Structure 1
Amino acid sequence: MILAGFCLVAVGGADLVRRFAARRGARIALLLLLVVAIIAVGALSDAGVSAVIAIAVGAAWVRSMPLDATGRASFWPAVLLGVLAAVSTALIHERDDPGLLGSIWRLPSPEGEIGFDAAVLAVGVLLIVAESGNLIVRAALDREGTWRPVESGGRFRGGQLRQPQQEATGFQGGRLIGPLERLLVVVLTLAGAYSLLAAMLAAKGIVRFPEISKDGETGARAEYFLVGSLVSWVVALGAAFLLWWGVHS
């Protein structure tokens, strides 16, 4: 479990730094700080090997998953990361003695004390459903050649012509809606509030229906909405299941 947690923290943390650190110097400094923090926490929790592996996984992710989702590897790094997280969570259960940090770690909850390894995994899950989830969705859309708005004129990418983006009007909240939606999916899934989860997902379709109904014969916007939403929900549900599995294993 600790290996999965560190890997998710490394990947999710790196993506947040890349997205929000505009200057190259600040980005490099924050990435180095993230590396130092992971290694320090790993050393203090008797998980130094897992921390080093996580740093290598994070570096491979940054190289293969550019922010514009045009890397040759497409969304396959996300698939490999999911497999790695699932296998390591299944094979490496929560440790009874997580080093120095474990001896001073106390985090109560309504269902009992949360262990250190489970807390690291939870942090990693929260980071992944943030910016990393957006990257995975964009990579999936690009891989399947799904129509989506671009910054300038239409162009060929992913095998099909992408239409030019309309002039922006009002609040552009797509990058915020995605992470909030995935966070709600994770929380509602773990809480067992499946009726609320179904209502939220249905409400999204209702809100988008007027836009989709104007799609015309191509069905491009409907395809964009369905592919993007389904991939986003799979990421969130997979993250929720991974955290539930790690806590209850």
Structure 2
Amino acid sequence: MILAALTLIAIGGADLLRRFVPRRPLRIAALLVLAAAVIATGVLADAIVPALIGVALAALWIWSMPLDATGPASFWPAVLLAGVTVSVTALMPSRPDPGIVGGVWHLPAPDGEIGFDVAMLALGVVLFVAESANLIVRAALDREGTWRPADQGGALRGGRLRQPQQAATGFQGGRLIGPLERILVVVLTLAAAYSLLAAMLAAKGIVRFPEISKDGETGARAEYFLVGSLVSWVVALGAAFLVWWGVRS
């Protein structure tokens, strides 16, 4: 589990730094600090090898999943990452004695105490769904050649002609709405608040209906909404399942 946790922390933290640290020298310095922090956490938690693997996987992720362009491997890095995190969480349960930090770690919960490995996994999930999941959604849209409102002009990608940008009114807050929505999906799923979860997802469809209803014969807006939303929800539900499994392992 600690391998999945440190990997998600490294990847999620790196993507947030890439998004919000504009200057390249500062961004590189911040990424190096993040890598050092992950390795230091591994040393203190008797998980130096998982920490090094997590940093290496984060470096590969940064190379293969650029922020605003189609990566060389499309969304396959996300598929491989899902396989790795699920496998190591299932095969490597929470450790009873996580090194030096285990002697001072104490995080109470209603049903007992949250272990260090589980807490790190939850932190990694939150960081990952905040920005990294946006890259997965974008990669899925690019792979399927789905039209996006932000595209400038028509372009032939994925074997399909994308339409030019429409009026700058629809879907402008996706980079903020998406992370908030995914965090809510994770929280509501873990809280077993399925009725609230269903209501939230239904409300999103209702709010987006005026934009979707403006579609012509192509159905481009509906396709964009469905592909983006479904991929985003799958990532969030998968993240919630990962934490659920970690808590019970």
Question: What is the aligned partner in structure 1 of residue 224 from structure 2?
Answer: 224
For 1:109 and 1:221, locate their aligned partners in 2 and report how far apart those are by CA, in whole Å.
44
Question: What is the aligned partner in structure 2 of residue 83 from structure 1?
Answer: 83
Offset at 1:152? 2.3
Q: Which runs of 5+ in 2 are unaligned?
A: none
Q: Does 1:61 align with 2:46?
A: no
TM-score (norm 2): 0.97
Q: Secondary structure at the match of 2:40?
A: helix
Amino acid corresponding to residue 57 of structure 2 in structure 1:
V
Q: How does 1:175-186 map to 2 (within 5 A)?
A: 175-186=175-186
Q: Secondary structure at the match of 1:104?
A: coil
For 2:169 and 2:90, locate their aligned partners in 1 and report how far apart those are by CA, in whole Å.
47
Query: Which shows bigger deviation, 165-174 or 148-157?
Result: 165-174
Question: What is the aligned partner in structure 1 of residue 210 from structure 2?
Answer: 210
Q: How does 1:13-92 map to 2 (within 5 A)?
A: 13-92=13-92
Question: What is the aligned partner in structure 2 of residue 6 from structure 1?
Answer: 6
Q: Percent identity?
A: 74
Q: Report if the CA contact (8 A) 1:151-1:165 is conserved.
A: yes
Q: Report if the CA contact (8 A) 2:149-2:170 is conserved.
A: no
Q: Structure 1, residues 141-192: CA drift from partner, whole Å, max 9, x if none?
A: 0011111123522212222222222353599321100000000000000000
Amino acid corresponding to residue 159 of structure 2 in structure 1:
G
Q: Structure 1, residues 44-97: CA drift from partner, whole Å, max 9, x if none?
A: 110000000001100000000011241120000001001000000000010011
For 1:159 and 1:6, locate their aligned partners in 2 and report how far apart those are by CA, in whole Å.
38
For 1:218 and 1:49, locate their aligned partners in 2 and report how far apart those are by CA, in whole Å.
51
Question: What is the aligned partner in structure 1 of residue 101 from structure 2?
Answer: 101
Query: Which shows bigger deviation, 206-215 or 78-87?
Result: 206-215
Over aligned residues, Cα RMSD in angstroms?
1.3
For 1:24 and 1:180, locate their aligned partners in 2 and report how far apart those are by CA, in whole Å.
27
For 2:210 and 2:166, locate their aligned partners in 1 and report how far apart those are by CA, in whole Å.
17
Q: Secondary structure at the match of 2:103?
A: helix
For 2:176 and 2:243, locate their aligned partners in 1 and report how far apart those are by CA, in whole Å.
23
For 2:119 and 2:110, locate their aligned partners in 1 and report how far apart those are by CA, in whole Å.
15
For 2:231 and 2:171, locate their aligned partners in 1 and report how far apart those are by CA, in whole Å.
24
Q: Report if the CA contact (8 A) 1:143-1:158 is conserved.
A: yes
Amino acid corresponding to residue 95 of structure 2 in structure 1:
R
Q: Report if the CA contact (8 A) 1:147-1:224 is conserved.
A: yes
Q: Which runs of 5+ in 1 are unaligned?
A: none
Runs of 4+ in 1 over 4 A off after TM superposition: none
Offset at 1:243? 0.3
Question: What is the aligned partner in structure 2 of residue 192 from structure 1?
Answer: 192
Q: Structure 1, residues 169-223: CA drift from partner, whole Å, max 9, x if none?
A: 5993211000000000000000000000000000111111111111111111101
